[in-house]
Structure 1
Amino acid sequence: MERSTFVYDGDCAFCTRCAEFIERRIPTGARVVPWQFADLDALGLTEAECEEAVQWVGADGSRAAGPDAIARLLGESGPLWRVAGAGLRVPPVRLAAWPAYRWVARNRHRLPGGTAACALPQEARERLYGPSGRPTTDA
């Protein structure tokens, strides 16, 4: 793999807003891609892993999830962001980051930029909206 990849849930408006922030404000050489458009097999990821948390696949093949993935992304970014990434890896901060991440993941539909679709698992979204993300029509 030639560059690192940060994978997020593109069906979640909150996650998409966060990814847009990364692309606008955080200088990183990593690809930032929704899992729905990523080659998960090539990255060694599953849909279930990607639905559970953001994922990091380093250019060296290393992997991380959730706040550990965010720390890795920040660690490969500009100097100020690298400090934030290092801070996320400090054991007491890392220990607190996981419960905070899980709370955000459970409540992302309530956060700024979130929508009701953020609260639904992928299977339910596809049942309701189809694989294209548009509402299905019953004939």
Structure 2
Amino acid sequence: MREGEPAGPVLLYDGDCGFCSRSVRFLEEHNLMGYRATPWQRVPDGELTVAFERLQSEVVLVRPGLPVVGGADALAASVRASDSRLRFTGRLLALPGFRAVAHAVYRQVARNRYRLPGGSAACRIG
């Protein structure tokens, strides 16, 4: 997505949001990030393949040749692709009942991320 970097799967998140940045760091530190994570603000405009409105409201996973997935599905896919022994939780979150709960929790967290640790007014979703 950046010049000189190999094309491949990338998880795009809001780099202006402290909560989002802290969450990605947590996943990386605990070996739960199966894909490269990059703030969408660092991707040149011409290379963004996802609508700006979507990038502001949810994390998205862009994988060459596959549909873009967002929110809880993007995080679950990244955890599934990790080397962690906890990657089974990514598979669990893909099951119908768990997936519905994960989506509901993700929506609540996303709406209230400005209130969570590391959050600020920049984290508020319009």
Name the TM-score class by shorter chain.
Answer: 0.7 to 0.9
Q: In the alignment, which residue of structure 1 is the partner of 2:59?
A: 54
Q: Relative contact order (alpha carbons < 8 A, sep ≥ 6): 1 or 2 greater? A: 2
Instruction: Normalising by structure 1, report the TM-score.
Output: 0.77
Which segments of 5 or more consecutive residues in structure 1 lack a partner in the other structure?
122-139
CA distance in 2, matches of 1:77, 1:71: 10
Unaligned runs of 5+ in 2: 1-5
The structure number with the bigger radius of gyration is 1
* Contact in 1 for aligned 2:58/2:71 (Cα 8 Å): yes
Paired residues in the alignment total 121
Cα deviation per residue 1:43-89 (whole Å; 9 max; x = unaligned)?
A: 52121111121000124433210000001101110142320100110
Q: Among residues 11, 17, 28, which one is paired with 2:16 in the alignment? A: 11
Alpha-carbon distance between aligned partners in 1 of 2:7 and 2:41, rounded to the nearest angstrom = 21
Superposition misfits of 4+ residues, deviation over 4 angstroms: none
Using the size of structure 2 for normalisation, the TM-score is 0.84
- 1:100 alignment partner, one of 97, 105, 108: 105
Between the two proteins, what is the percent identity of the paired residues? 36
